[in-house]
Amino acid sequence: MIEQTEIWFVIVALGIGSFLLRFLFLGFIGDRPMPPWLLRHLRYTAVTVLPALVAPLVVWPAANGGETDPMRVLAAAATLFIGFWTKNVIAAMGSGAAVLLVAHYLP
Amino acid sequence: MAQSDVMSSFWRGVRHGVPFILVVGPFALLFGVIAAEAGLHVTEALAFSVVVIAGAAQFTALQLMGENAPTWVVLLSALAVNLRMVMYSASLTPHLGGIALWKRGLVAYFLVDQAYAVSILEYERDPDASPAVKFAYFIGVVLPIVPFWYGLTAAGALVGAAIPPELGLDFALPIAFIAMIAPALRTNAHRAAATVSVILVLCLTWIPFNLGLIIAALGGMATGAEIERRYGL
């Protein structure tokens, strides 16, 4: 059992810490110009952080005990493929979900 | 322009945000359930989701507290999971740096993965929109999502019972993120950046506190920036 005081301390400290991480650039830099080299790097934040967040979840899903599950990899591949060629987010999500559903109801 | 642009941007944000209720909802529910199983009261679970508003960090903190890790390890690990938010904040600053401080504070509070991903892709599609229009879009995206994050955390903590894992809801987040990223891989620089990032993160899982994620992302960003510098966008 977790101690009551520790829970509240963690909630408050984590809340403040997370807010400061999120506020760091938005709050303290604001509309001061940023150097071109930095902007050039920041253009690739979305396409690097999000894939890095997702890749381990695809390859070693915790729900499968951290073991690679071929159907999840296939679902991820289908989503990527459809999303890349159609540029349609909903179609991409649908294709990934379809692969998982088919896999779930196959023997 | 002004008012009508801002309103239409807001509603476009709402439309783009609504589908993510399906992604965020199960996570909130799951967090509530796990929190209840770890012995947290409903108010404590809800406070977690309202104050911290970062799913992955909340799961990390709960997991480590359950393992009786020292409090500083709990905080450091959960904050390390949230380090990516610094990069989100930095990459939104060129778009939203011009709005009032309290609005930037509001954006910072609501800066969750889904809101960031949807908004930055919209801003890249239309970089010349005014900061007010971009802010309205962001608020539109988070407004439908956040009540479900709060509400379903509380619901999960109240229900407490286990959600059957064979539903495969754990995979809602990966699928949603891949679906969003794939259309953004427009140029060779973007594709190379994403590829390098994925390879690095899979090789760096041995690094503690999720720092592999940060290193992988920085490696990918450097790759994209260098290709852009040499060959242009």
- Find chain A residues with C-beta within 8 A of B170's C-beta: 57, 61-63
- Write the secondary structure of chain B as one string of H (helix), E (strand) and C (coil): CCHHHHHHHHHHHHHHHHHHHHHHHHHHHHHHHHHHHCCCCHHHHHHHHHHCCCHHHHHHHHHHHHCCCCHHHHHHHHHHHCCHHHHHHHHHHHHHCCCCHHHHHHHHHCCCHHHHHHHHHHHHHCCCCCHHHHHHHHHHHHHHHHHHHHHHHHHHHHHCCCCCHHHCHHHHHHHHHHHHHHHHCCCHHHHHHHHHHHHHHHHCCCCHHHHHHHHHHHHHHHHHHHHHHHHCC
More confident residue, B203 or A105: B203
pLDDT in tens, B41-81: 999 999 999 999 998 788 878 877 877 878 887 888 788 77
Amino acid at B128: D
pLDDT in tens, B129-171: 999 999 999 999 999 999 999 999 999 999 875 555 555 666 7
Contact B109 A19 (CB under 8 A): yes
Residue extents of the structural domains in chain B: 2-161, 185-233
Contact A55 B201 (CB under 8 A): yes
Q: Which of A10, A42, A89 sits opposite B91 (nearest CB)?
A: A42
Give the global pTM: 0.75
Q: How confident is the model at residue A7 (pLDDT cuts 50, 70, 90)?
A: very high
Calculate how close chain A gets to B7, using CA atoms only, in Å.
23
Q: What's residue A18's pLDDT?
A: 96
Q: Which of A13, A21, A75 sits opposite B82 (nearest CB)?
A: A21
Calculate how close chain B gets to A68, using CA atoms only, in Å.
13
Mean pLDDT of all residues in A65-93: 92
A74 touches chain B (CB under 8 A): no
Mark which residues 7-36 of A lie under 8 Å from B by CB.
Answer: 7-15, 17-19, 21-27, 29-32, 34
A1, A12, A16, A22: which to substitute to probe chain B, counting the most B Cβ within 10 Å? Answer: A22
- Whole-angstrom Cα distance, residue B202 to residue B183? 22
Q: What is the ipTM of this complex?
A: 0.84
Q: In this structure, are residues B128 and A47 in contact, taking their beta carbons and an 8 Å threshold?
A: no
What are the tokens at B59? 């799961």
Neighbours of B222 (CB within 10 A): 16
